[in-house]
Amino acid sequence: MPTFALITEGITDQVVIETIIQGYYSGQLDDELDFNPLQPVRDATDESRQGGFGGWENVLEYCSYSDRIREAIALNDFVVIQIDTDCCEEKNFGVYLTKDGNERDAPDIIFDVISKIVGIIGDDIYLKHKEKLIFAIAVHSIECWLIPLHMKKMIGRKRTHSCEDHLGRAIKQNGLEYSKNYDVYFNIVMPYRKRKNIELNKMYNRSFEIFIESMPDPIRLNKLF
């Protein structure tokens, strides 16, 4: 049973990542997948289910504890590290979104964000275990990956700014509930349980496509487990 540890900004991000991974491997594996949320820890309290913990600072802080990262790698087959780029120009993040007044391309931003995280984790750990580390870097928020599922106009599906606001409006226009909590996001991301929906929509967001392309090959997983 392949196990994926999750280090994410919040529990809504966890359910998005879980669903996408499940959908990507749907019908491709001989065994079920298992997920181990590490940051934030998911429990039964109301505060946790409403997304009361997490944030990009907590992701970077978690990655700075080498003992935690080593344990996550030792106890799981893969470790997924998710972070959005909307706050990456903050002082404690330090990755620029623009160059010479122009917005940088998504692959360049993602490269710098991964380099930042690798620097925090430590080159020694990364080089030894890089095949077990998966980076889910959303430009500029994970909601941008969900917009193509619910935005009717083609041009809106490629949006990378203010995605949470636009996603919320699209959801409500479709007659559904929207709020930032686990249960709502569980329903919002549900179509990605089918791999065909992932393949259809990854073209609208380059960072989503890069994440999908970074997933371990199903044939490889079947050989391992």
**Domain spans, the chain:** 3-141+181-224
Cβ partners under 8 Å of residue 209, min gap 6: 202, 203
- C-alpha dist (Å) from residue 70 to 16, 65, 77, 112, 130: 25, 9, 12, 23, 12
Q: What's the pLDDT at 31?
A: 83
Residue in this structure with the two tokens 């050989």, named with its chain if needed:
223
- Percentage helix, strand, coil for the chain under 3-state DSSP, each rounded to 5: 55, 10, 35
Asked whether residue 71 carries a pLDDT value surpassing 50, the answer given is yes
Looking at residue 193, the DSSP 8-state letter turns out to be G
Asked whether residue 182 carries a pLDDT value surpassing 70, the answer given is yes
Binned at pLDDT 50, 70 and 90, residue 23 comes out as: very high
Asked whether residue 132 carries a pLDDT value surpassing 60, the answer given is yes
Asked whether residue 74 carries a pLDDT value surpassing 70, the answer given is yes
pTM above 0.75, yes or no: yes
Does the N-terminal peptide bond of residue 140 adopt cis geometry, omega within 30 degrees of 0?
A: yes
Q: What is the mean pLDDT of the chain?
A: 93
| Residue with more model confidence, 43 or 151 | 151
Nearest to 143 by CA among 109, 116, 168: 168
Asked whether residue 222 carries a pLDDT value surpassing 90, the answer given is no
- C-alpha dist (Å) from residue 199 to 15, 23, 78, 108, 165: 19, 10, 22, 23, 24
Q: What's the pLDDT at 54?
A: 59
Q: What's the pLDDT at 121?
A: 98
Asked whether residue 52 carries a pLDDT value surpassing 80, the answer given is no
Q: How many CB atoms lie within 10 A of CB 169?
A: 14
Asked whether residue 87 carries a pLDDT value surpassing 80, the answer given is yes
Token digits of residue 41: 């820890």
